[in-house]
Amino acid sequence: MMSQDRPTFSSRLVIPASWEPLDRPPTQAALDALEHANAGVLGFLLQRVDLATAPRPGDEGLTEALAPLRAKLDLIIEMLSGLSYRQVVLPDPQDLELALDHIIWTAPSPLAAGQWLKTRLYFSDAYREPVTLYAEVAGSAADGEGGWRVHGALPEMSESVGESFARLIFFEQRRRLAQRPARVAVGSRQ
């Protein structure tokens, strides 16, 4: 298990996410099963990251020659996942703060401290398998805009799953920042 005194990070993401209340805290068997399932989902999601960040051959001619093949493979993967997941509707995107020990999001109403939730986080439109986390509500506070900021404490993760989760969050945040249009400062042009 990961050490709680280890430095942690916190990242903000807007991704499809949902949660449902639980009648009671999850059992150790449920936590272990979820850990195993998340290890598989995280491994699959990180394969794409690892491929995208892998060193490319220095031969530009080879890279250009392989580009159409890569585009066709990406298209086939998108088509297959569209067929496989056509009945899976993603939840609305949520503004989340994620860390290894907590999750914070906005809910339409306050949630009671001590309530347990099952949260599902979707990091890919093509691969619609969620990273699922249990969270114990630590508190809710009005956000000033009619909603409630809910703080959920996450049970401790194993070191390998925690590191994979941290990598995925980091790379997803970087990917989304890279896709945002560049902001032009008003009044900066003379």
Which residues form the domain of 48?
A: 11-55+91-178
Confidence at residue 2, expressed as pLDDT on a 0 to 100 scale: 45
Helix axes 28-53, 159-179, angle to 10 degrees: 50
The verdict on residue 138 lying in a domain is: yes
The verdict on residue 110 lying in a domain is: yes
CATH number of the domain at 41, please: 2.40.10
Query: What is the H or E stretch that residue 116 is in?
Result: strand 116-121
Whether residue 168 contacts residue 131, with contact meaning beta carbons closer than 8 Å, is answered with: yes
Q: Which residues are bridge partners to 98 per DSSP?
A: 11, 103
The verdict on residue 29 lying in a domain is: yes
Whether residue 41 contacts residue 130, with contact meaning beta carbons closer than 8 Å, is answered with: yes
How many domains, the chain?
1
The verdict on residue 190 lying in a domain is: no
Q: Which residues are bridge partners to 17 per DSSP?
A: 121
Confidence at residue 38, expressed as pLDDT on a 0 to 100 scale: 96
Q: Phi first, then psi: give them for residue 89, nearest 5 degrees.
A: -95, 125
pTM score above 0.85 = no
- Give pLDDT < 70 ranges for the chain: 1-8, 50-58, 78, 81-86, 181-190
